[in-house]
Amino acid sequence: MVLLMSSIITKNGKKLLARQFVNEMSRSRVEGLLDAFSKLVGTDSSQRQHTFVETDSVRYVYQPLDDIYVVLVTTKNSNILEDLEALRLFSRVIPEYCRSNDEAEILNKAFELIMAFDEIVALGYRENVNLAMIRTYTEMDSHEERVHKQILNAQMRDAINKGQQRAKELKKNQERSTGKGGRGISSATAISSSNSHSFASAEPALNSSNTSSYVPKTPAVSAAASSKGGGKALKLGAKNVSDDAFLQQLRSEGQLVADLQKTSIADKGKPAVLEDRSPVYVHATEKLNASVSRNGGIESAEILGNVSLNLTESEFNTVTLKMKCKQVAGTQIQVHPNLDKTVWQKESRLQLKSIQKPYPLNTDVGLVKWRNVLSEEEQLPLTLNVFPSESADGCTVNIEYTLQKEIQLFEVVITIPLPPATQPIVSEVYGSYEYVRSKSQLLWTIPIIDSTSESGTLEFSVPNGHSDHFFPVNISFTSENLICGIEVEDVTKHDGSDSVEHTLNSGIVVDKYEIV
């Protein structure tokens, strides 16, 4: 087949747009061919029953859409079946870019339509593309670019959060040191002189609120620096004022800028602190993998959990974790071989067998892991009821979520696939929604689900499609709670005598949760 040109004209013969696909087509020839087509189909009503008309030199393949014609001009020796197939694709492109088939909308989206036509035909020959590929090519959507932007946004949010956490920690340390007074300074000096070799390696970890020598050091040096006075102090103050003015200007322009913390002269040569956590960092997490049938019942579901420990100072490398175990039925638990299983079984404590084999520093060490295979939907933290109803006017979909456990879920996103090139009409929603046209998806977002919002609904309709178009539905969320009943209660010294200050990070993440 050789396609000479494509065009959209009104039934009155007005030319809305035309795109030629071969070099020898001049504007006057294009206008002449379209004028001839209007005369061929404008008067003879019998010809309107057909989808093509011919002249001595060319063939017109056309399709009426409301008040317009979609016209393809081909050579007479072109394959009519291939021409009709190409015509159907051209006709499907128009509603993909235009909300209606009226003249004003066609003219408004003329350049988008021309670029889409160029993806269908190249140098007179049809390309092997479909509607989804055309949309992807014209949008020039890049998965790598989206991932890169998401990473940058996540890094920016993380940096802002860490800056805010660091500011809170500095304020807390200053209040604590003010209450301790001179006694804290003397104890800090004694500890610093006796254990100087250990602090040399742990110096970057300034965010350790558990280190007694660090607490009074900042206000002591800051007070000394402020009492010196002199020209340099005035210059430093002037610089801070300039920085504040610059930051205020950035904020007025809409930039997200974290507050800069004022540091003492002694902190000038120290590396920046990236994480607000103590030398004893405990991470407890559970990952959910679930596949649930649309008709009810679990096809496959399991929860994988683990507790890991990361230490940054050698004085804590033999700590013991006291656990709180209210195990859910069917939970399988495995403890690290270097831990005392007898102590675990009797006292629910994760304790080293021998202090001669301490935990390594700056390494995530897995202590215990567990697995729970779920058999009923009620064991899931969140269930979803998806109910599509087909009718002559299209399809109406009702979706209801139900919180099954007394926990808080954050950043809940429910992704519903849609029929291609179909924009949904949402009549009811709890939370917010977003239609992603490039992926034919509807994103239902609920910022937080807890006891005050145990259930919520989304209702929308589409003019076409059937039940299978709306599956699989994917669910993602995060939570600070664990659901298998295994939690970290406390961190103590090896013998369990005294508690050790620590940072605990726990929660659930969804690896995969879908309704199929």
Helix (H) or strand (E) holding 501: none
| CATH number for region 382-479 | 2.60.40.1170
Q: Which has the minimum average pLDDT: 257-266, 382-391, 464-473?
A: 257-266
More confident residue, 122 or 270: 122
Global confidence as pTM: 0.49
Query: What pLDDT shows up at residue 250?
Result: 55
Residue 7 to residues 20, 73, 74, 149, 211, Cα–Cα distance (Å): 8, 8, 12, 39, 76
More confident residue, 247 or 387: 387
Task: Give me the residue spans of the domains in the chain.
Answer: 3-139, 144-267, 280-377+483-515, 382-479
The tens digit of pLDDT for each residue in 80-130 reads 888 888 888 888 888 888 888 888 888 988 898 888 888 888 888 888 888
Cβ contact 427:404 at 8 Å: no
Q: Is the pLDDT of residue 274 over 50?
A: no
Cβ contact 505:281 at 8 Å: yes
Query: What pLDDT shows up at residue 249?
Result: 60
Residue 505 to residues 286, 307, 407, 479, Cα–Cα distance (Å): 12, 10, 16, 11
Q: Is the pLDDT of residue 477 over 90?
A: yes
Q: Is the pLDDT of residue 423 over 60?
A: yes
Burial of 171 (0-12, 13-18, 19+ CB in 10 A): exposed
> And the tokens for 419?
């029929």
Task: Report the pLDDT averaged over residues 459-487.
Answer: 89
Q: How, if at all, do strands 503-515 and 280-292 pair?
A: parallel
Q: Do domains 280-377+483-515 and 382-479 have the same CATH topology?
A: yes
Query: What pLDDT shows up at residue 412?
Result: 94
Q: Which has the minimum average pLDDT: 7-16, 79-88, 144-153?
A: 144-153
Q: Which has the minimum average pLDDT: 159-168, 179-188, 301-310, 363-372?
A: 179-188
Q: Is the pLDDT of residue 27 over 80?
A: yes
The tens digit of pLDDT for each residue in 497-516 reads 788 888 888 889 899 999 98
Q: Is the pLDDT of residue 139 over 50?
A: yes
The tens digit of pLDDT for each residue in 197-231 reads 333 333 333 333 333 333 333 343 333 333 444 44
Scan for tokens 């609920």, then name that residue. Answer: 446
Instruction: Say which CATH architecture domain 3-139 belongs to.
Output: 2-Layer Sandwich (3.30)
Residue 117: count of CB within 10 angstroms of its CB: 23
b/e for 53-92, b at 16 or more Cβ within 10 A?
beeeebbbbbbeeeebbbbbbbeeebeeeebeebbebbee
Q: Do you find a cis peptide bond into 420, omega within 30 degrees of 0? A: no
What confidence tier does 261 reach under pLDDT thresholds 50, 70, 90? very low
Query: Rounded CA gap, 136 and 134, in Å?
Result: 5
Cβ contact 282:315 at 8 Å: no
Query: What pLDDT shows up at residue 144?
Result: 76
Closest by Cα among 73, 66, 68 to 30: 73
> And the tokens for 184?
């804290």
If DSSP states are collapsed to H, E and C, what string results for 30-80?
A: HHHHHHHHHHHHHHCHHHHHCCEEECCCEEEEEEEECCEEEEEEEECCCCH
The tens digit of pLDDT for each residue in 300-319 reads 999 999 999 999 888 888 89
Instruction: Say which CATH architecture domain 280-377+483-515 belongs to.
Output: Sandwich (2.60)
Query: What pLDDT shows up at residue 252?
Result: 59
Query: What pLDDT shows up at residue 50?
Result: 60
Query: What pLDDT shows up at residue 388?
Result: 92
> And the tokens for 260?
């800069």
Query: What pLDDT shows up at residue 188?
Result: 38
Query: Rounded CA gap, 408 and 437, in Å?
Result: 31
DSSP code string of 132-195: HHHHHHHHT--HHHHHHHHHHHHHHHHHHHHHHHHHHHHHHHHHHHHHHTHHHHHHHHHHHHHT
Task: Report the pLDDT averaged over residues 49-59.
Answer: 80
Burial of 418 (0-12, 13-18, 19+ CB in 10 A): buried
Query: What pLDDT shows up at residue 228?
Result: 41
The tens digit of pLDDT for each residue in 170-192 reads 888 888 777 655 444 343 333 33
Cα angle for residues 81, 83, 87 (degrees, 5° grid): 115
